[in-house]
Structure 1
Amino acid sequence: MADQEPDSGEKEFDATDAKQTQAREDGNVPQSKEANALALIVGILCAGGALQMTVGRTLFNDFSSLLYHADSFAGDVFGGGGGQTQQLLFGLLVQIGLLFLILAAVVVVSLVIQRAISFSFKKIALDMKKLSPVENLKKRYGPRGITDFLKDMVKLGFAVGIAIIFLAALAREYYASSAIEMGHFAGFTFSQAMKLILWFLAFQVVLAAIDLPLQRRLHDNRLKMSREEMKKEMKQSEGDPQLKQSRRQAASRITRGQMMQNVPTATVVMVNPQHYAVALKWDPDDDKAPVCVAKGMDHIAAKIREIAIASNVPIYRDPPSTRSIYRLVEVDEEIHPEHFAAVAAAINFVDRIRKHM
């Protein structure tokens, strides 16, 4: 249609704090799969170190005992109640469980560092879009799906290449080590596996260093807001009574601070004398009427009088005119014609004081 308004749906504004908070509550947080994979590899190395230094020897001895003395364990299970076998298997499960606990702890630490932990029921709620074949095809064959596929292919190619090169270089050592004792062969195999994991770790560090900031940037782009969304959120926030009150309080503090800075520049301060105070500024070389630069009641009025005394600004008592100016004239606004006579009297008072100084 020719008379249709131009599209204002372009998302050009960064997400507000409110939208970021809502996204986190919905479980929509930036998360890097590569950083999680890096944490998993680090966890494997930590578990491998624990396996080699502490748990490994006991675990290997228990497995060896289970294999070499299978007949005695079978007799224990079928004829002796299985107490010895249960004790051995329980010890094995505890040691293996410790290794998995290390893996889980490292991955959780990675998620905490990424600030990617968010508990939201919306993530586990039934979403028909997730069941839609069309949406799944878009996700799988869209730009993001193709990017993930290419990235996974690069990772797979690197992994296969590293494994082939590494194993080919160590083939001779493997053949030579096949003649040694089982315990030493297992240790040799374990050390070579740890070296291979270190190669994968180096590659994964590079991937995570690229993917982590990229995912954060993509997440920020997904949360960007259009002009219409900004307007809608502003309307919603303006309708919130608490936000309104906080804005009024903040504006009042700012205005009050600016007013107090204006008092030393005033020509005269008119007072009630206790409850009201109005600071007026007048330039005789200007054609404009005197301007109200500060006003206040009660404790604010007392503060205005205090600053006026400290700044040698004359104070003039005129209760009716002071109350009228306070009610009718805003800060940075000229006085009204009905106040001219009273303010002229105040300025004459100031001139007389200055002549006698």
Structure 2
Amino acid sequence: MAESESGADKSEEPTDKRLRESREKGQVARSRELNTLAVMLAGTGGLLATGGELGDALLRVMRACFDLPREAWFSEESMGLLLMASAQTALEAMLPLFVYLLIASLVGPIALGGWLFSAEALAPKFSRLNPLAGLKRMFSVKALVELVKALAKFVVILMVGLAVLSADRDALLAMAHEPLEMAILHSAQVAGWSALWMACGLMLIAAVDVPFQLWDNRQKLMMTKQEVRDEYKDSEGKPEVKQRIRQLQREMAERRMMASIPQADVVITNPTHFAVALKYDPAQGSAPVLLAKGGDFLALKIREIAQEHKVMVLESPALARAVFFSTELDHEIPAGLYLAVAQVLAYVYQLRQFRAGKGKRPGPLPDLPIPPDLRRDE
């Protein structure tokens, strides 16, 4: 199990944020052996595919350089043209091989860590200039692993090279008796196949190195329990701050709710535990809307503000509880309470008419019909 600099065990898997930040910093799994293998395979494969063209180009350059007329030896202009022509011939012959190598140099890193460009990874790090840190890296476990891999590569390539030379010994000796042109083409073919077999020998090293690099990178990204908690606090916010924000939001919502009570048509109470303020606008043609609701101390404040602004306050415990538990602020009451609230609003209208001297005093508020599914008992 990995340990952090503080000595705590890194027992937790890296979070998505940790993985994302590591990619932004360029900290992804990379395998030099995989990159080397890709370049070697592309180079040897390209050499085999274009060996004939390379041999022909080499023969043309040799003929042009060794079969010169006497006048060309004493002409600076002719020698310059010959040099340019030879360079052009060599470049055209080697261009496909260069393309193969370029593609391989890009595919190798992308195959393991994906495409990644990080400006932070390119920035200079002055901490690498610290001699003590350099000595620590030289004698670290990672340096030991790199040394073992280097020795393994040397042994594998040496063994494959000896095996290839032993298998091609007769062909190599026969080249001495072949014509020059055929010997050049034959040597290019032998060199290409020999390099290809030695490149294939690196597959064993890459097969071991790739899983190790993935594991090593994962270990570096592992987190301690404290790091996970700190990251959660940073991303989600500290509990104290979140609690304070929720408190402020509640206070703002309560202030807005209290400011809307003077616009209500009626406040229905429990009478002490709950209070709800309703408003009905006939011009809108919709159901009554809940402007404010509260329990205990908040219910008391709603009643005080309603009395201060001469909003009618009526006691109907069953209806107050039903509206309180079934309706959200600034929402219409459910259809099951239409009839009960309509009776309350009619009673309020009659009471206003009586106080204005335009009608008889209404009797007591009748029992209101509350559907069983909306009824809430204390």
TM-score range relative to shorter protein: 0.5 to 0.7
Q: Is the 8 A contact 2:54 2:94 kept in 1?
A: no
2:98 aligned residue: 100
| Pair 1:154 & 2:175 matched | no
Secondary structure of the residue that 2:113 maps to in structure 1? Answer: coil
Quote the Cα distance in structure 2 between the aligned partners of 1:274 and 1:210.
74
Quote the Cα distance in structure 2 between the aligned partners of 1:224 and 1:195.
44
Compared CA separation, residues 191 and 49, structure 1 to 2 (3 A): closer
2:32 is matched by which residue type in structure 1? K
Query: Percent identity of the aligned residues?
Result: 19
Runs of 5+ in structure 1 lacking a partner? Answer: 1-6, 249-271, 277-288, 306-313, 321-341, 351-357
Secondary structure of the residue that 1:13 maps to in structure 2? Answer: coil
Compared CA separation, residues 79 and 348, structure 1 to 2 (3 A): closer
1:89 aligned residue: 87
1:75 aligned residue: 73
Compared CA separation, residues 49 and 349, structure 1 to 2 (3 A): closer
| Pair 1:20 & 2:13 matched | no
> Structure 2 length as normaliser, TM-score?
0.61
Compared CA separation, residues 297 and 160, structure 1 to 2 (3 A): same
Compared CA separation, residues 293 and 19, structure 1 to 2 (3 A): farther
Quote the Cα distance in structure 1 between the aligned partners of 2:180 and 2:372.
107
1:202 aligned residue: 200
Quote the Cα distance in structure 2 between the aligned partners of 1:294 and 1:349.
7
Q: Is the 8 A contact 2:160 2:201 kept in 1?
A: no
Quote the Cα distance in structure 1 between the aligned partners of 2:98 and 2:27.
28
1:193 aligned residue: 191
Quote the Cα distance in structure 2 between the aligned partners of 1:52 and 1:12.
54
1:159 is matched by which residue type in structure 2? I
1:190-246 Cα shifts (integer Å, max 9, x gaps):
222222223223322232222222211211110111122112211211249xxx9xx
Equivalent runs, 1:1-357 vs 2, <5 Å: 9-52=8-51, 55-69=53-67, 75=73, 78-80=76-78, 82-239=80-237, 273=287, 275=289, 296=328, 315-317=336-338, 345-347=370-372
Compared CA separation, residues 103 and 150, structure 1 to 2 (3 A): same
1:106 is matched by which residue type in structure 2? A
Quote the Cα distance in structure 2 between the aligned partners of 1:127 and 1:235.
29
Count of aligned pairs between the two proteins: 274
Q: Is the 8 A contact 1:50 1:56 kept in 2?
A: no
* Aligned-pair CA distance for 1:105: 1.0
* Aligned-pair CA distance for 1:88: 3.0
1:82 is matched by which residue type in structure 2? G
* Aligned-pair CA distance for 1:150: 0.9
Q: Displaced runs of 4+ in structure 1, greater than 6 A?
A: none
Q: Is the 8 A contact 1:30 1:116 kept in 2?
A: no
1:278-322 Cα shifts (integer Å, max 9, x gaps):
xxxxxxxxxxx99x99764678x79xx6xxxxxxxx8334569xx
Q: Is the 8 A contact 2:13 2:222 kept in 1?
A: yes
* Aligned-pair CA distance for 1:108: 0.3
Q: Is the 8 A contact 1:40 1:107 kept in 2?
A: yes
Compared CA separation, residues 185 and 226, structure 1 to 2 (3 A): same
Q: Is the 8 A contact 1:8 1:226 kept in 2?
A: no
* Aligned-pair CA distance for 1:29: 1.4
Secondary structure of the residue that 2:177 maps to in structure 1? Answer: coil
Q: Is the 8 A contact 2:12 2:222 kept in 1?
A: yes
* Aligned-pair CA distance for 1:125: 2.7
Runs of 5+ in structure 2 lacking a partner? Answer: 1-5, 247-277, 279-286, 291-320, 343-366
2:146 is matched by which residue type in structure 1? D
Q: Is the 8 A contact 2:58 2:90 kept in 1?
A: no
Q: Is the 8 A contact 2:48 2:189 kept in 1?
A: no
Higher mean C-alpha displacement, 108-117 vs 152-161: 108-117
* Aligned-pair CA distance for 1:343: 11
Tell which has more relative contact order, 1 or 2 (C-alpha 8 A, sep 6+): 1
Quote the Cα distance in structure 2 between the aligned partners of 1:126 and 1:298.
58
* Aligned-pair CA distance for 1:74: 5.2
Compared CA separation, residues 214 and 73, structure 1 to 2 (3 A): farther
What is the CA RMSD across the aligned residues, in angstroms?
Answer: 3.9
Quote the Cα distance in structure 1 between the aligned partners of 2:30 and 2:61.
39
1:128 is matched by which residue type in structure 2? F
